[in-house]
């Protein structure tokens, strides 16, 4: 039975993405920003039945929506997100509360001093330690509202202070208290191609990655360089609202992953079923997202093939990648009505043709089956807004992650070999303290190198034999 999902939004990036994410979910379910239902959509939204059956096509059909997995309802029937908002300075959360009053103000944690974490992992982590009881009280109270808690999902950046530091501590605390629950993360990685304002971001990233490696069950990787490239392709050059477009890209992916949970079917109706399709071993759990822009000239076959285009992948792919698993979500406005017992604008034959063509084009690792799984999701225009700019999302587990992490390690090495800026992470400037911190840093780096080696090793035909 699918269980409830609690979202944790930490830091500026996490809360900005979280705002767009809940805006997307509200639009999908016909919910206004204040939590009330859009007029004329108060009846439960029904979903379609199956259109043809193959073992690779799952239709989100025949069952009513499962808004209770992501929302609670107040006594006045207002929908309230199951979400905790955490930041050390108030501006982003204040904006979120203003734009979407449906957020529960009791689920907000702000620093009493109103200061940020100065883009420093150590500052964020230390703050979290100081206020861990207060943070866990917020989470425990939200958990108490669940009948069958399934998953925590974390929205954060790995390069700053609050999202990385407080986010890392939350992963540790949740593993300790709720270790049997799933932990997924939507993690935004820093630019590797341009100079960053955060000079210590390689340290922050490696320290956070260590916790993701240890405690996450599945991490969706979003690379800033790729997000910016996709945004420029789809929207043109950025305007004054920096990051708004990239945040929408991330939120669309996150909402698409949960589409089959919120509009449940007989397959992929829980995070457990999604992750079991994508993550074969605990060491191979870093996932890549790709988008297919909407076009009136594209059918299902075209969308599935477009999802293979490296141009729309949200982490930079510089070398040919080998695939471990692939799960495509076709999300469109044409999927909402019932006709002849199925999706009225969906062609199962075109989907099957797209699956066969993509199976022949994708290079899979030798020990896995060449399966491309497809989920048909509901469109977002139920709330009366304009249709989404996108027609589909692909989540894949592939070896391009090794390239992303290799760049991070190289950036880390450039700083670490000179112990540059290490004083921001030490309690004093003594030789022993600097050596202690560098040992901790290098331990984290070795964990990242271990993941790189794992993704390289999995390309061999005897990979599973080596694990035995």
Identify any residues that bridge with 219 across adjacent strands, giving them in sequence order: 185, 286
More confident of the two residues 145 and 346: 145
- Tell me how crowded residue 19 is: count the other CB atoms within 10 A of its CB: 24
* Residue 335 binned pLDDT confidence (cut-offs 50, 70, 90): very low
Tens digit of each residue's pLDDT (9 = 90 or more) over 227-274:
988 888 876 655 545 567 889 999 999 999 999 999 887 789 899 999
User: 141-145 long-range contacts, Cβ below 8 Å, gap at least 24?
Assistant: 141/106, 142/6, 142/82, 142/84, 142/107, 143/6, 143/178, 145/72, 145/82
What is the structure's pLDDT at 234? 76
CA atoms of 87 and 111, how far apart (whole Å): 7
Question: 183 with 174: CB under 8 angstroms?
Answer: yes
What is the rounded average pLDDT for all residues in the chain? 86
Residue 64 above 70 pLDDT?
no
69-76 contact pairs (CB < 8 A, 24+): 69/2, 69/3, 69/4, 69/5, 69/150, 69/261, 69/262, 70/4, 70/5, 70/7, 70/25, 70/258, 70/261, 70/262, 71/25, 71/29, 71/31, 72/145, 74/35
356 Cβ neighbours under 8 A, 6+ residues apart = none
Sheet holding 57-59, edge to edge: 57-59, 372-378, 323-332, 390-398, 286-293, 218-223, 182-189, 149-157, 4-10, 83-87, 108-110
CATH architecture assigned to 4-467: 3-Layer(aba) Sandwich (3.40)
Going from N- to C-terminal start, the domains of the chain cover 4-467
pLDDT tens-digit map of 5-41: 999 999 999 999 999 999 999 988 889 999 999 875 4
Q: Say which residue the tokens 């959360």 belong to.
A: 93
Closest CA to 263 of 70, 46, 20: 46
Counting residues of the chain whose pLDDT is more than 90, the rounded percentage is 68
**Whole-number Å distance between alpha carbons of 223 and 263:** 29
Instruction: With cut-offs at 50, 70 and 90, classify the pLDDT of residue 295.
Output: confident
Which tens digits make up the pLDDT trace of 358-414?
999 999 999 999 999 999 887 553 333 455 666 789 999 999 999 999 999 999 999
In Å, how far from its chain's centre is CA 332? Answer: 20
At 417-466, the pLDDT tens digits run 999 999 999 999 899 999 999 999 999 999 999 999 999 999 999 998 85
Task: Please write the tens of the pLDDT for every residue from 165-209.
Answer: 999 999 999 999 999 999 999 999 987 665 566 889 999 999 999
Residues of the chain above pLDDT 70, percent: 85
Confidence at 346, pLDDT banded by 50, 70, 90:
confident
pTM of the predicted model as reported, rounded to 2 decimal places: 0.91
Task: Give Cα separations from 104 to 107, 166, 330 (angstroms).
Answer: 5, 20, 32
Q: Which residues contact 155 (CB under 8 A, 6 or more apart)?
A: 7, 8, 9, 10, 13, 14, 15, 17, 18, 21, 185, 186, 254
Element of type H or E holding 184: strand 182-189
């Amino acid at each position: 039975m699918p269980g409830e999902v609690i979202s944790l939004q930490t830091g500026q990036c996490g809360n900005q993405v979280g705002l767009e994410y809940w805006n997307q979910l509200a639009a999908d379910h016909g919910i206004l920003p204040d939590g009330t239902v859009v007029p004329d959509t108060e009846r439960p939204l029904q979903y379609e039945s199956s259109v043809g059956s193959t073992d690779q096509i799952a239709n989100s059909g025949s069952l009513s929506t499962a808004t209770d997995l992501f929302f609670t309802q107040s006594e006045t029937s207002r929908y309230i997100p199951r979400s905790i908002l955490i930041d050390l300075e108030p501006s982003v959360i204040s904006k979120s509360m203003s734009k979407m009053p449906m957020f529960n103000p009791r689920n907000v944690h702000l620093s009493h001093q109103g200061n940020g974490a100065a883009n420093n992992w150590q500052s964020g982590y230390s703050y979290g330690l100081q206020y861990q009881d207060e943070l866990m009280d917020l989470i425990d109270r939200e958990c108490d509202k669940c009948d069958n808690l399934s998953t925590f999902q974390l929205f954060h950046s790995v390069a700053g202070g609050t999202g990385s530091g407080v986010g890392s501590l939350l992963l540790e605390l949740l593993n300790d208290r709720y270790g049997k629950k799933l932990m997924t993360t939507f993690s935004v990685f820093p630019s590797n191609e341009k100079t960053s304002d955060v000079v210590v971001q390689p340290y922050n990233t490696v320290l956070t990655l260590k916790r993701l490696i240890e405690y996450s069950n599945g991490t969706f990787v979003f690379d800033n360089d790729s997000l910016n490239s996709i945004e420029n392709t789809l929207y043109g050059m950025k305007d004054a609202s920096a990051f708004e477009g990239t945040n929408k890209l991330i939120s669309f992916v996150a909402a698409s992953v949960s589409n089959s949970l919120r509009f449940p079917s007989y397959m992929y109706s829980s995070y457990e079923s999604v992750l079991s399709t994508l993550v074969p071993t605990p060491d191979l759990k870093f996932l890549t997202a790709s988008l297919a822009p909407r076009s009136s000239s594209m059918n299902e076959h075209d969308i599935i093939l477009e999802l293979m285009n490296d141009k729309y992948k949200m982490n930079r792919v510089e070398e040919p990648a080998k695939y471990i698993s692939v799960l495509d979500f076709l999300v469109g406005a044409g999927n909402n009505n019932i006709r002849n017992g199925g999706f009225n604008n969906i062609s199962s034959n075109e989907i099957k043709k797209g699956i066969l063509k993509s199976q022949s084009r994708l290079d899979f690792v030798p020990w896995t089956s060449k399966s491309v799984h497809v989920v048909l999701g509901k469109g977002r225009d139920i709330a009366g807004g304009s249709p989404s700019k996108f027609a589909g999302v692909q989540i894949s587990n592939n070896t391009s992650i090794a390239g992303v992490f290799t760049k991070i390690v190289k950036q880390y090495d450039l700083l670490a070999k000179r112990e540059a800026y290490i004083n921001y992470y030490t309690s004093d400037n003594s030789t022993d303290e600097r050596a202690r911190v560098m040992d901790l840093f290098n331990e984290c780096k070795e964990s990242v190198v271990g993941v790189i080696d794992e993704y390289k090793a999995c390309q061999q035909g005897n990979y599973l034999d080596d694990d035995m």
